[in-house]
A and B are shown apart, each in its own frame.
Chain A
Amino acid sequence: MSGPAQRTAQAAPAADATAPDVAVEADDAGADDATGAASAVDTSVARAPSAAARPLTSLSSLLGGAVAGGQACDADGNCD
């Protein structure tokens, strides 16, 4: 299973991860040069062709920074 089409992350605005002390501030799509590489192999959902290589936007940008960052476990397995 895979999903989303190739996409490019845009620079995110200032990190908004002001979550509680349990938060790990995963960067909100902050890699300017990040380029998705996965193939679209989802049998259940069709995406519009225009979705391919669509630039990504941080959700916090959409919401005007009104939403605090989320709680996450980081790639080292830390969930504190």
Chain B
Amino acid sequence: MTAAQDAPTATDARLITVDVWTDVVCPWCYIGESRLQDAIEAEGLGGQVHVRAHSFELDPTSPVGGGQDNIEHLVRAKGLPAEQVRQMEAQIKTMAEEIGREYSTERPMANTRGVHRVMQAIGEAHGADAATGFFLALQRGYFTGSLNPFEADVVVSHAVAAGLDEQAAREALEGGSHDEKVEAEVREAASMGARGVPFFLFNDKYTAPGALPLDGFRQALRQIADEARAERGQA
């Protein structure tokens, strides 16, 4: 991205920007983003909230390319009994179902850096909306069991759908481009006090760690929207 592109050039009319640091394989990110979307609708703020995804890696040491599932991964990485991991997954599935979302408790698991690189490449070429759309489509598909984000062709096809050239997508996925941007976003989250994800930043001002309850998101959106309207003289 060029310096010219970095500079603010337009005014976004939407009331609220929500920056969310997230990882593809993070169940609470999926739950949190779903609750956020539900809260936006419940508050009648559709079209008024701009959600932007940012990179965060839960486990940069995960092996590239897959071969494990999420249960095996936690058993090996954390030394947890498989049954305990399954119980945790079942609890999260219940929470997902409470908000009407599908949730696959057994999923492939691998290093997510490549997906983040592709998201950064899309953001650089086509902006935050395209990058966020790409990322959330992969995350939702992963947790509903409809796709494997560790298959190169899956990632590339979604990147192309988001507007990225296929060759650029493969270069970002398989090469080392955009590593620096991924790492910068991870550092930025840490600089704000994030110790995990999801981590939300509302209107470049209010930070919230974790997937809030639906009512929490609703309260936050209501209050921040009121504040934004007041600042714009629309109160």
Q: Are chains A and B native binding partners rather than an unrelated pairing?
A: yes
- B207 located at the interface, meaning its Cβ lies under 8 Å from any Cβ of chain A in the complex: yes
Which of A1, A42, A44, A73 touches B58 (beta carbons < 8 Å)?
Answer: A73
Contact with B along A19-37 (1 / 0, CB 8 A): 1001111111111001111
Is the pair B204, A26 in contact by a Cβ cutoff of 8 Å? no
Q: Is the CB of B11 within 8 A of A1?
A: no
Which chain A positions have C-beta within 8 A of B78?
Answer: 76-78
Residue B155 at the chain A interface, CB threshold 8 Å: no
Do residues A26 and B195 form an inter-chain contact, with CB atoms below 8 A?
Answer: yes
Interchain CB contact under 8 A, A4 and B201: yes
B209 to chain A: closest residue by CB: A26
> With A26-B209, A30-B193 in contact, do A77 and B58 touch (Cβ < 8 Å)?
yes
Q: Mark B177-220, 1 if CB is under 8 A from A, else 0.
A: 00001001101101111111111111011111111110110011
Count of residues in A whose CB is under 8 Å from the partner chain: 60
| Chain A residues numbered 30-80 whose CB sits less than 8 Å from any CB in chain B | 30-31, 34-49, 51, 54, 56-60, 62-63, 66-80
Scan residues 95-125 of chain B and give those whose CB is less than 8 A from a CB of chain A. 119-120, 122-124
A59-B213 CB under 8 A given contacts A46-B10, A73-B58, A80-B88: no
B235 at the interface (CB under 8 A from A): no
Contact at A70–B187, with CB atoms within 8 Å? no
In the complex, chain A residues whose CB is within 8 Å of the CB of B129: 44
Assembled-state Cα–Cα distance A80/B204 (Å): 29
Main SS of the interface on chain A? loop
Binding site for B on A (CB under 8 A): 1-5, 7, 9, 12, 17, 19, 22-31, 34-49, 51, 54, 56-60, 62-63, 66-80
Q: List 6 A-B contacts (CB under 8 A).
A: A41-B124, A41-B181, A43-B123, A45-B17, A46-B12, A75-B195
B28 in complex: contacting residue of A4, A34, A79, CB < 8 Å: A79
Instruction: Assess whether B141 is interfacial by the CB under 8 Å rule.
Output: no
Among A2, A23, A54, point to the contact of B181 (Cβ < 8 A).
A2
Please judge, given known A-B contacts A37-B184, A63-B220, A73-B58, whether A68 and B213 are in contact too, CB under 8 Å: yes
Interface segment out of the listed B1-9, B40-48, B143-151: B1-9
A38 pairs with B184, CB closer than 8 A: yes
B25-65: CB near A (< 8 Å → 1, else 0) gives 01111011000000000000000001010100011000000
Task: Report Cα–Cα, A3/B206, bound state, in Å.
Answer: 15
Q: Give the residue of A31, A41, A76, A77 whose beta carbon is less than 8 angstroms from that of B193.
A: A31
Whether B92 is near chain A, meaning CB under 8 Å from some CB there, is: yes
